[in-house]
Amino acid sequence: MAVPRVNVFHYVISLSAAVVAVIVCVAVYRFCHRVDLMAAQFQLETGPQATLLYDRAGQLVFSLHEEERIDRHLDQLAPAVVPAVLAAEDKHFLSHVGVDIVRMAGAALNDAKSRRLTQGASTITQQLVRSQALGRERTWSRKLREILLAVRIERRFTKDEILETYLNRIYLGDGYFGFQAAARGYFDKDASALDLSEAALLAGIIRCPSSCSPRNEPERARRRRDVVLQAMLDDGDVTRDAYNAAMSSLPDIKPRRADGIFPVHQDGKDPSALYFIDEVRRQLAIRFGEGAVLRGGLRVYTTLDPRLQKAAEDAVAERLSELDAQQRKLPKRDSDDDNPIEGSLVAIDPKSGEVLAIVGGRDFHSSPFNRAVQALRQPGSAFKPLVYAAALENGMLPSTILDHLDDPIPASTGGWLPADEHEGTTYTLRQALIVSSNRAAARLLQVVGMSTAQYYARRLGITSTVPLVPSLALGTAEVSLIDLTTAYGVFANNGALVSPHVITRVEDSSGDVIWRSPTMAVQILRPGTAFLMSSMLGDVINRGTGSEARAQGFKLPAAGKTGTTNDSVDTWFIGYTPHIVAGVWFGRDQPETIVRHATAATIAVPAWAKFMRAATAGDAPDWYPMPSSFEKVAICQVSGMRATNACRLAAANHQGGVVDEYFPKGMVPREPCSVHVEQLALPGVVVEPPSQPVATTGGAPEAP
């Protein structure tokens, strides 16, 4: 019997097929294993969440984000959203297992004919898997992983969970991710308020968010909307009447907002509320980190008052425009273009410490440097009230007399006598503050003590360095506008300091409060001291260096102080009512004369008055009642004693003066004025101060 010969060729073929089969099995196993690992690790994630900023009234005004996305639950979306999306993207979503076999077969046939992947047919689950885990590479292997993952994902999560994640993650053009961000961005409304036409338009542009943008390609977006509406009608998701109504309406696409805060101004520039928002962002980044701010979905409740912010922007912009017009009438300087006049304003509620408005300069985009918060400049005479407050806290009164004001003050370089437009040699504290006497302020600092004045400046909220030099009383220490405004807020709040803040609370994306701003009031000055400061600073506005505020039409009871530095480099005005304190500054970034011989009264006060007129519109007159522990007495301004008929006669003839002055009970001068009428008529007369039951030297502890 013959032995059959082995066909070597067939043997090799069989062996090769077996090896290939093993390799394929191993490859398939490894492929499926990797898919299983991916499926096990897959979590439904919508992506980075925008941090939302709310104003003082709880209205959403701004978002900080890498991707503008605001998550919403399915029950927070308009009823038309889900049917529109399913009609546009996946009509069998509720019944398939992650893939739509019928659509996939049709797409595969077309792809085979063209010999490349040209047609989609991806379900919502496949789209979600692709965007979150696989990317957009168009290959057969990626498509196979997408299919296998989609099937496994459908086993792990419910249809509602998948759909909700998809609706929050999907890109809808113009930087908007998810239906909530797109609804706010395109229609200026919440996703819960979308009508049928708007929902269908957004659903229609899912496939082409860039080329079908309703802003850039409105006609293409409308055609996509019509396709979706027709599909909804065919599927029975809408009635014929609803379909006709939607087809006949055109969604109103709003202008692109400045990151969501306010509509763009007619001149195309964003509002300078961006200075306020940038300060919020800066503080959030310090506390929580930049990543949490841009991706963490924080809910931040700010102190921004949009009405007052708008009033602040208008006041600063109008004043800068007026100053620019004045500059154009003068000989042009090289620095006028490179170093223009800048302005800033900050407004605070003194009782709560809430910062209501911030203007940090002309234009945030040109210069994001915030001059209301970050700049340190010399305040000039606007610093004097802090020295006066220290004096009142240590026993002096508005009627206390400062004399011999033409005597040089000892300094390290010898005798020093500051320049002073007001050459009187004797003033009461009230008179000296009204006319802003430099020599009186310098003498007062010597009486109070430099370290005592420094101590109170820090207590009142000045965070920058306060040097111990005789010129401190004239405002040579550099301070920020927000710090100095905070200090005046202590006067406005009966001597109590509430630290200024732009954020009241922060919540995480789940709504849990993770931080609150401390708002505890700290009593810095005695209420009586604050009352006396308000009384004297009220006179500054009514008949002193701040009286331009009255000329500008601001009528409510108020208090405040001007500040002008040497050569008119910086001009300030800080003023307040019982309910709002506001500070303004005008100058150049590189210290240089604004306008020759300019003063704060002519530069800064008009902007303050314009802002305050708008901020207090409709407010009833309101002022501080005299404390029950005080008495009001008519006082002769020359002697500081009780006024007599002779004093009143001299005052009536414009010789001398009589004022109503306030004294703590038990400290009222008992002696009548003994100065003769002839003395009252002599300007600059020096009268030795009578013995008074109050100390005229500082007694506060040294600053720690």
pLDDT given for residue 6 in this prediction: 53
Q: Rounded to the nearest 5°, which phi and psi values hold at 583? A: -125, 140
DSSP per-residue string spanning 478-522: -B-HHHHHHHHHHHHTTTEE---BSEEEEE-TTS-EEEE-----E
pLDDT(7) > 50:
yes
pLDDT given for residue 652 in this prediction: 57
Among the listed ranges 287-296, 342-351, 490-499, 674-683, which one has the minimum average pLDDT value?
Answer: 674-683
Global confidence as pTM: 0.76
Q: Which CATH number fits domain 46-248: 3.40.47.10, 1.10.3720.10, 1.10.3810.10, 1.10.260.40?
A: 1.10.3810.10
Among the listed ranges 461-475, 542-556, 573-587, 641-655, which one has the minimum average pLDDT value?
Answer: 641-655
| DSSP code for 157 | S
Kindly report, residue by residue over 237-277, the tens digit of the pLDDT. Answer: 999 999 999 999 888 888 775 444 333 333 334 445 899 99
Kindly report, residue by residue over 171-194, the tens digit of the pLDDT. Answer: 888 878 889 889 988 998 889 999
The residue to which tokens 């990151």 are assigned: 259
When comparing pLDDT for 433 and 666, which is higher? 433
H helical segments located in 616-676:
645-652
pLDDT(311) > 90:
yes
Report the percent of the chain where pLDDT is more than 90: 49
User: 246, 263, 271: which is closest to 185 by C-alpha?
Assistant: 263
Averaged pLDDT, 86-93: 86
Is residue 366 part of the annotated active site? The answer reads no
pLDDT(509) > 90:
no
Catalytic residue among 67, 68, 89, 661: 89
pLDDT given for residue 32 in this prediction: 63
pLDDT given for residue 65 in this prediction: 77
Kindly report, residue by residue over 413-425, the tens digit of the pLDDT. Answer: 777 788 777 677 8
Averaged pLDDT, 72-97: 88
Averaged pLDDT, 646-669: 74
Catalytic residue among 122, 197, 352, 381: 381
pLDDT given for residue 69 in this prediction: 76
- Please, which residues have CB within 8 angstroms of residue 9's CB and are 6 or more apart in sequence? none
Asked whether 408 and 659 are in contact (CB, 8 A), the reply is no
- Please, which residues have CB within 8 angstroms of residue 409's CB and are 6 or more apart in sequence? 415, 416, 417, 442, 443, 446, 470
pLDDT given for residue 300 in this prediction: 95
pLDDT given for residue 681 in this prediction: 39
Rounded Cα–Cα distance for residues 633 and 57 (Å): 45
Q: What value does the mean pLDDT of the chain take? A: 83
Kindly report, residue by residue over 668-680, the tens digit of the pLDDT. Answer: 877 777 655 444 4
User: 371, 375, 350: which is closest to 362 by C-alpha?
Assistant: 371
H helical segments located in 395-449:
429-435, 438-448
| DSSP code for 239 | -
pLDDT given for residue 685 in this prediction: 31
Is residue 279 part of the annotated active site? The answer reads no
Among the listed ranges 73-87, 102-116, 270-284, 553-567, which one has the minimum average pLDDT value?
Answer: 102-116
pLDDT(29) > 90:
no
| Domain boundary assignment for the chain | 46-248, 630-681
